[in-house]
Amino acid sequence: MTAIDVATSARVCWLALPCSALCALAACGDSSNLTSHSTTNPATSPAQPAAGTLSAADDARLVELGATLARWNKHHVPDTARDPQTNFLPRTQGGLDRFTEVAVDGGRVYAFVMHFDPGTTDEATAKQLAQQEVPPDSRLIFDEQLYKHAKDADDQCEILQFQSAILAAALPSDPTGVILVTLSDETSNGFQPFDASSIVTINVLSGGTLGYMPGEC
């Protein structure tokens, strides 16, 4: 099962469960929020934004997660040697496309996986990159370093949850604007021991329940 298969299954599951979650921190634009490990009781989590009408101005701000397929394609180069609808350049030295398994819902991108060569992207940089992939109004809810108390291979990751009112308005399937980002060293052979100096996979997925934290990657 691929990372996006797992993610899509989890998306359905998390939408039905009580909320994947986070501690309300400052706006996503403050990168200092991404350096700490913090969780809160779901009862104290920020209020869920009501899915409203997406303004043209906000729509134009969506070029990564939540973007229309047309806008995504304008900002990304498809890999025509593979599936140009799901794979986008550049390629890593290991031969993987930077973006794979790009998934669309209602004409908008709701999930994708990013790949990096080993030793090129550390944990802090991966968090900054992930922040650039979510809508600009996203705020960090929690940053759970599962790998610090890992019991098996499925715990070798770090999970961040964000929330975006813009995404809530753009994606009817994600009315609360919840986003899950997983940082890991997942390869074709599964999850490898987490190495904070070498993140090779960033999985970005819309959907989930605010306040619910997945127990594994």
Each residue's pLDDT tens digit, 23-54? 332 333 333 334 333 444 333 344 445 456 89
* pLDDT of the residue at 32: 35
Between CA 38 and CA 145 the distance in angstroms is: 9
β-bridge pairing 190-191 and 88-91: unpaired
* pLDDT of the residue at 3: 42
Q: Nearest to residue 71, comparing CAs of 108, 120, 36?
A: 108
* pLDDT of the residue at 212: 87
Mind listing the pLDDT tens digit for each residue in 197-208? 999 999 999 999
Mind listing the pLDDT tens digit for each residue in 68-119? 999 999 999 999 999 999 999 999 999 999 999 999 999 999 999 999 999 9
Between CA 143 and CA 21 the distance in angstroms is: 9
Q: Give percent of the chain above pLDDT 70.
A: 76
Q: Give percent of the chain above pLDDT 90.
A: 66
Nearest 5 degrees, angle CA 204-CA 31-CA 180? 20
